[in-house]
Amino acid sequence: MARLHTQVQIGVLRLQLEKMVSKRTKALVESETQYRLLSELTPIGIYRRDNMVIPTEDNKLLTIVVNAFKGRMTFASARFLEIVGITGLDIDALINWVRYTHPDDYADILRSIQMSAAGTPVSMEGRVIRPCDGKVTWLYKQTINDVTLASGHSSGTISVMSDITQLKVLQADRLVALENAEQESRKRAEDAEEHRRQQELFVDMVCHEIRNPLNGIVNNVDFLRSNVAERERLVTSLPPTTTRDALAAQTVDDNSLLKSVDICVTHQVRKSTIFVLLKKKKCTLNCRGGSPTTSSTCPS
């Protein structure tokens, strides 16, 4: 009788346990279904691996990268496969997709593997060469450790990644545009400086051509004035005669004419100097776009 009662209790417990297992299993299936649905809808790629084994330091770099992940890939979203260019049936490529890393990024991949093994979350940018079409794709990847086991070790890693190729292309185009704009700006500044220099040379040449004849006139006026002064001295030494009076009157007229020429030349020199200075200041403003600088005077 006691044995029958015990068997009945065991049967009841078994039924209760089966119901609990069924309930938990259903909850896990629903949770996994929701997780897979969310992973398929998200625009980023998601994958999970079991524990990984870090190779020894004496291995070659390529071997280290290719064989770094020894754990089993337990999940890979469709977006992840699309980003790295792997078909769902290409099991070998899926397991060892890290071997498609761009050669210039091997060292960064190795460093990220070692950091993940040490339990450190990893964020990095890198490139892969897609096996389906050979195109280079830029990735931004973040990796964290999965659930920690009782032993203190992680059960695996979960990684998410996004395709940032278009962003990298835009950044490269922007750098090229900035470099071109800088070169164009430098060229325009050099052209403006050359234009200003040529204008100043032209103004200096005009100044020289204007001042040279005027200087000749001034020098001749000074020479004539000295001759008239000498003649006036000789006239005053002559005895009073009609000829002397005529010479004296002519000397007065000559002095008046020389004074008039001197006034005209002095006025013309002043006007040409002002013209050249204003022209140089305007040239400086137009070419440099700033305040006028002190200009040199015209060469005599």
Q: Dump pLDDT digits (tens) for 250-260.
A: 888 888 888 88
Query: Is residue 155 located within the same domain as residue 73?
Result: yes
Q: Is the pLDDT of residue 63 over 80?
A: no
Q: Is the pLDDT of residue 31 over 80?
A: no
DSSP codes joined into one string, 47-107: EEEE---PPPTTS-HHHHHHHS--S-EEEE-HHHHHHHT--TT-HHHHHTGGGGB-GGGHH
Assign residue 73 the CATH number of its domain.
3.30.450.20
Q: Residue 68 falls within a domain, yes or no?
A: yes
Q: Can you state the angle between helices 242-288 and 165-237, rounded to 10 degrees?
A: 170
Return phi, psi of residue 40, to 5°: -75, -30
- What gap in Å lies between CA 247 and CA 239, rounded to an integer? 12
For residues 269-287, average pLDDT: 69
Q: Which residues of 263-292 are buried (b: 16+ CB within 10 A; e: fewer)?
A: eebeeebeebeeebbebbeebbeebeeeee
- What gap in Å lies between CA 40 and CA 11, rounded to an integer? 43
Contact 102, 64 (CB under 8 A): no
Query: Is residue 15 located within the same domain as residue 103?
Result: no
Sheet holding 136-145, edge to edge: 73-76, 45-50, 156-163, 136-145, 122-129
Q: Residue 300 falls within a domain, yes or no?
A: no
Query: Is residue 149 located within the same domain as residue 242?
Result: no
- What gap in Å lies between CA 22 and CA 154, rounded to an integer? 28
Q: Residue 71 falls within a domain, yes or no?
A: yes
Query: Is residue 20 located within the same domain as residue 86?
Result: no
Q: Which of 25-34, 61-70, 114-123, 260-269 has the lowest mean pLDDT?
A: 61-70
Query: Which residue range(s) make up the domain with 234?
Result: 183-288
Does the global pTM surpass 0.75?
A: no
pLDDT digits (tens, 9 = 90+) for 130-188: 888 889 999 999 988 776 554 555 677 888 899 999 999 999 999 999 999 999 999 99
Query: Is residue 55 located within the same domain as residue 126?
Result: yes
CA torsion 27-28-34-39 (nearest 10°) is 170
Of the pLDDT bands very low, low, confident and very high (cuts 50, 70, 90), residue 88 is: low
Contact 62, 108 (CB under 8 A): no
| pLDDT over 90 percentage in the chain | 13
- What gap in Å lies between CA 85 and CA 40, rounded to an integer? 16
For residues 273-281, average pLDDT: 71
pLDDT at 59: 40
Q: Which residue has the tokens 């051509």?
A: 209
pLDDT at 283: 62
Q: Both tokens of residue 299?
A: 């060469």
Average pLDDT taken over every residue of the chain:
75
Q: Pick the more confident residue, 185 or 68.
A: 185
Query: Is residue 232 located within the same domain as residue 282?
Result: yes
Query: Is residue 197 located within the same domain as residue 278?
Result: yes
Q: Residue 230 falls within a domain, yes or no?
A: yes
Contact 68, 110 (CB under 8 A): yes
Q: Residue 176 falls within a domain, yes or no?
A: no
